[in-house]
Amino acid sequence: MTQDAAAPEILIEHSGPISWIVLNRPAQANALSGSMLNSFSAALEELKESGGPVIGIRANGKGFCAGMDLGQYGGAAAMDPVADAKRLNANVARWLAIWDHPKPVIAAVHGYCAGVAAQMCIFGDLTIVADDIRISEPGVPIGGGFIAPTWVAQVGAKRAKEFAFLPGNSIDGPTAVEWGWANHCVPAERLIAATEAMAARIALVPADVLQVKKLSINRAAEAAGFRVATSGIAEMDSLLHLAPSVLAIRERMASEGLKPVLDAYRGPSSTALINSFKE
């Protein structure tokens, strides 16, 4: 699949009461580059004062997002831990801007949703997934304590650990709903229609009422520790990035390429692994 190099990596599209932020880097599996993240943040800021009363996040292409663009971060060069923590904290701030946004934000997720993309959706107000979804951990264990801690408030600590401890672990749509990660799972061909129907119902509520309802529920979640749980994850991740074992993996990625390193860790999901013992 080819993509026009001049095409924006983030689009804003308006559809009645919902304004969509569209991930538009399909040739790269919508992997998040630095410029794409900056454009995402700019779109969120723009839609505070313009567009519909509800914001949606979706993606063009075969899947939602393959996570961070490892082409930018997967080398073996010496790392500055202070700069690394600053970069990671900036990304957490991007997702908190979803959480703190005055409008309700719905993520409509299809195909694949990996790594930090699975983290991003946690900060949305609602998540609707397609029945073809695979929500997955990064396939190579080069970070730690960055994604799964943000899941705890919604799925619990034990499920967050189950998700995190197996490299490349994944869950499907029905499991995401069962765990509490997503609100609903619908047929892939009806994902956008279902999300827009939900947005139309939400938009019947006055905008100021929606804003206060969101703030009130967010404060309840924060009283239970949600925001505190995000406060130290960048430092934990940047610390592990300097561990000898992680540097060795990064060296392999630089010398062998990503695919053989991914293959070395590939295996069944935790659910598939356990189900094999039930047969």
pLDDT digits (tens, 9 = 90+) for 31-84: 999 999 999 999 999 999 999 999 999 999 999 999 988 666 544 455 788 888
- Mean pLDDT (whole number) for 264-274: 94
pLDDT digits (tens, 9 = 90+) for 69-104: 866 654 445 578 888 889 889 999 999 999 999 999
d(CA 92, CA 184) in angstroms, rounded, equals: 25
- Judge residue 188's burial from the number of C-beta atoms within 10 Å of its C-beta, 0-12 exposed, 13-18 middle, 19 or more buried: middle
Measured in whole angstroms, the distance separating CA 58 from the mean position of its chain's CA atoms is 11
pLDDT at 269: 95
- Mean pLDDT (whole number) for 238-252: 90
Count the Cβ atoms, other than its own, within 10 Å of residue 2: 6
pLDDT digits (tens, 9 = 90+) for 246-267: 999 989 988 998 899 999 999 9
Is beta strand 112-114 parallel, antiparallel or unpaired with respect to 184-186? unpaired
pLDDT at 194: 98
| Residues forming beta bridges with residue 65, ordered by sequence position | 113
CB 115 within 8 A of CB 138: yes
* Helix 233-240 × helix 81-99 angle, to 10°: 150
Count the Cβ atoms, other than its own, within 10 Å of residue 27: 14
Q: Where are the domains of the chain?
A: 10-275
What is the residue whose two structure tokens read 């934000």?
Answer: 105
Size of the chain in residues: 279
- Mean pLDDT (whole number) for 127-152: 92
Write the CA distances from 205 to 103, 188, 210, integer angstroms: 12, 28, 6
CATH class of the 10-275 domain in this structure: alpha beta
d(CA 275, CA 256) in angstroms, rounded, equals: 33
| Residues forming beta bridges with residue 212, ordered by sequence position | none
- Judged against a pLDDT cut of 70, whether residue 5 lies above it is answered with no
